[in-house]
Every structure is written in C-alpha cells, then in structure tokens.
Structure 1
Amino acid sequence: MGTDRKRTGLGALAQAGDDDFSVITAIGGPRGVVESMLPGFLFVVMFVVTSNLQLTIIVSAALAVLQVVVRLCQRQSVMGALSGLAAVAICLIWAWRTGEARDYYMYGFLTNAAYIVLLLVSLAVHVPALGFLIEFIRSLPTEHFRQWLDGWRSDKELVKAYTIATWLWLGVFALRLVVQVPLYVTNHVGWLGTARLLMGLPFWALAIWVTYLIVATPMHRHKMRERAQLEESAEHPHASNSTQ
C-alpha cells in the first residue's frame, strides 16, 4: 500500500529520483524548523537580555517540554520533538552544572568532532558514510549484508557521488568548529549563539539540498539498473539459478 508520508533528513535523500524532493519537507516542514530553532533562539535572547543563566535554563527547558506536550495533545508524532528535547536537555544540564552559559554549546562541539572522525574513517575504508546511511535507509539489509554492501559499492558513479557528499558534510561539521570554537574560547555567548543558529538548520538544509543535487542522478541510474536486473531475473529464473 502506498503512503503519502514524506521522509525527513537522509530518509528524504534515500527517495531521490523516485519522488519530488523538497528541502522544507526534508528538514521537518515549517513546524519542524520552528521547533528545532526556537529553544536555542530563546536561550540566546534570554541570556543576552537578562544575564541570568538559571532563569534562561528554566524557560528554555519549559519551552522544549511544552513542544512535546503540544504534539501529544494534538496526537501527532513526537519522535522529532523528543529527540530535540533530549538534545536541549543535555545542553542545558551541561550549562547548569558548569555555571557557564557558553557550555550550552559544548555538546554540539563534541558531536561535530565525533561526526568528523566517523566521516574520515568511512572515507579511509572506502565506504563513504553518506552512501552507507542513504543505502541503509533505502534498502534495509535484513540479510546478506556483504551482498548488499557490494551491490552499491560496485557502482563507481554512485560511490563517487557518495564520496563527494561525504566530504561536503565533513566540511560542514569542520566549518562549524572553525567558526564557533574561537567564540566559545573568548566567551562571546551572544555571537556564539547567533553563529550556532545560522550554522544549524540553515546549513543542514543547504547541505541536504547540495547532497541531493550530487546523488540524485547516479542514484536514479543505479535504481534503474537494479530494476532491470530484477526483471531479467524474473524472466530467466533458471539462468540466475545456474550461476549460483
């Protein structure tokens, strides 16, 4: 049975070539954009205006919880809101324990650094992370993992696109650290918060859009070849069995 639900994030990229692609849909729609950015925006504004870290933490936490409650009352999916709540909670707890408003952003530094390491490792072993994730979402390998892995890695055009996209995302995470860490070190909380917001969801949306431009055509061609192979196997089942 078909479904009208649109995937978000890398899940939207996994559908590239089959459906109309929308960046807004990929990043969670207008409501998802607001819910993702509002707690961080409120944190920056409140701390700059009041210089009261405790009040800022309380209000930001209340907003994050309220967003989940509203979705629950409207009987909508709360997974995105819950993941956002978890991330905000980690950031707020970190700032509260240290008593430093700038430490609200420390968790983001650590996750960006971790992503950079993972992407570099994936490139070093010639399994580009973007390709692995998108293909995993597109065709979950419940069995024959090696066959699944070789299936898309044998397509040189597709692997090249995934490699370029992986370098793109690595650059996004690295640029965030290059810009934001000096602001953290010099304790410019207002500028740090502004940079975090501008280099958060807007950068994410831009990276998803450019990734789509890079991988859509190679992925579409790969899917066409997959379908042709399946049709050929269905038409000549004995030939495929004899090769096994």
Structure 2
Amino acid sequence: MAESKAGSANGTGLKALASAGEGDDFSVIAAIGGVRGVVESMLPGIVFVVLFVATQNLDLTIGVSAALAVAQVVVRLLQRQSVMGALSGLVAVGICLIWAWKSHEARDYYMFGFLTNAAYATLLGVSLVARVPALGAIIEFIRQLPTEHFRAWFDDWTGDKALKKAYTIITWLWMALFLLRLAVQVPLYLTNHVAALGVARLLMGIPFWALAIWVSYLIIATPMHHHKVAQARAAESAARERDGLNESTIITEKDR
C-alpha cells in the first residue's frame, strides 16, 4: 500500500490507534490504508452502483465487479506487495456479489454490510453493558498481547480510570456509527432505492471510518500516553528493585 512511514510503522485501523500517544506522526490516510488502499476499497462499490444504474444489467454488473476485485489482488501479486488487504476485500466483495446473484436483486449486494454492522453494534453494546469497552480490549490486545498473566494485563488498563473512560467513549462512538449506517441505509434497501443506497454506502464507508479513527485518536492519545509513561516508570522501578535484591543477595553470600 502507498503508506507513509508512520503508517508503515504503526499499521492501519485499530493497529494505528494502538500506537496512539507515541508521537505526533499519526496519519489518518495511513491509518485507513493509504491512498491506494482507499481507492481499492471504494472502487468495487463505485463500479457496482454506477454500472447497474447505467445498464440495469445485474449479471454484467456482477461480472465486471468480480473481475475488478480479482484484478486488484493479481496486480498486488505481480508487484510483490502485501495482498492481505486486497484479499480480504475480495472475500467481502465476493460475498456481496454472490448474495446479489443468488437473489437476483441488486440491492442484496449490500445485505452483508447490514449484517456486519448489526453484529458489530451488538458486540460493542454488550461490552458497554458489561463495563468492558470492546475497543479498549482490542486495542490493548494489539498493543500488548497477554500471552501470560491475563489478569494483570486486564487490570492494568481497566484500572486506569482515564484510559478506560476514553475507551468507553470511543466504543460508544463506533457503536453509534454502525447504528447510523443501519438507520440511513436499511430504509433505502426496503424501498429498493439502489442508487441512493449505493451512494449512502460509499459516503458512510471509508469517509466515516476515517472520521471515527481520527476522533478516536484525539480521545485516547493523551490518556494512553500517560498510561504508557506510568507503565515505563513501573517497569523501571521493578528493575531497580530486582537489582537491589540481587546486590543484597551477593553481599549476604560474601559475608558468609
């Protein structure tokens, strides 16, 4: 992907948020996959809605959209670049196209998106009810994989009131985003306004995602920075304490 140095170092999506508080090099464009990643994500949807509205030929629209999605993966393979993003996009587009093809309804191209948005909103809502903000758990899992001492890992970030509050706020934010998509797009689906639905899907896709990531970064950057500083100080203090114990042991053994 055409990423900046910051994007390459910090990753995309929630991986980028996991690096919040480490400096001022956060880039929204890099966090959503770079310019090329954005184009690759939006192009199949644009082609689908424009071609269907222009031709009203669902089979042709599905065929061209599928060919385009496959071509994106092939181009990345030929250029020896990472294909994970394009491949995951191919799978998602493939599911949407198969759904539309099986039902013979162009609007069903968007059904998979409704289901995923509903599932995400439900999971985030359940996490808020449980008082364990899902976005906080995911970001902390990415930032510091709890391969052992799970309880200590869990207590570390949930015990930081400022950080947990920030994670709770962005979890509410993302849940609202998913629910807003459903509130706007489902009525268009039910009334079979394919063109309007396609436009709404595009506008509420990457642009809304970019906005959510940017606002989330603004909310969590400061408390995460303070948390990381506190972690570093605690680790340094623990190291000094261990060194002190080791020196005491050596002195005691010499005295013997």
1:240 positional shift:
9.0
Number of residue equivalences: 239
1:26 paired with 2:31, answer yes
Q: Is the 8 A contact 1:233 1:240 kept in 2?
A: no
Q: How does 1:32-71 map to 2 (within 5 A)?
A: 32-71=37-76
1:16 paired with 2:24, answer no
1:222 paired with 2:227, answer yes
Aligned mates of 2:187, 2:208 — CA distance in 1: 19
1:157 paired with 2:171, answer no
Q: Secondary structure at the match of 2:177?
A: helix
Aligned mates of 2:10, 2:29 — CA distance in 1: 11
**Residue in 1 that maps onto 2:98:** 93
**Residue in 2 that maps onto 1:83:** 88
Q: How does 1:85-164 map to 2 (within 5 A)?
A: 85-164=90-169
Aligned mates of 1:47, 1:30 — CA distance in 2: 26
Q: Which amino acid counterpart does residue 172 of structure 1 have in structure 2?
A: L
Q: How does 1:157-236 map to 2 (within 5 A)?
A: 157-236=162-241
Sequence identity of aligned pairs in percent?
Answer: 70
Q: Which amino acid counterpart does residue 40 of structure 2 have in structure 1?
A: E
- Per-residue deviation, residues 179-214 of structure 1 (Å, max 9, x unmatched): 000000000000000000000000000000000000
Aligned mates of 2:150, 2:129 — CA distance in 1: 20
If the length of structure 1 is used for normalisation, what is the TM-score? 0.95
1:126 positional shift:
1.1
1:25 positional shift:
0.2
Aligned mates of 1:6, 1:64 — CA distance in 2: 26
Higher mean C-alpha displacement, 101-110 vs 140-149: 140-149
Q: Which amino acid counterpart does residue 201 of structure 2 have in structure 1?
A: R
List runs of 5+ in structure 2 lacking aligned partners: 1-5, 247-256
**Residue in 1 that maps onto 2:250:** none
Runs in 1 of length 4+ with deviation above 4 angstroms?
A: 238-241
Aligned mates of 1:238, 1:46 — CA distance in 2: 69
Aligned mates of 2:229, 2:194 — CA distance in 1: 50
Aligned mates of 2:49, 2:207 — CA distance in 1: 17
If the length of structure 2 is used for normalisation, what is the TM-score? 0.91
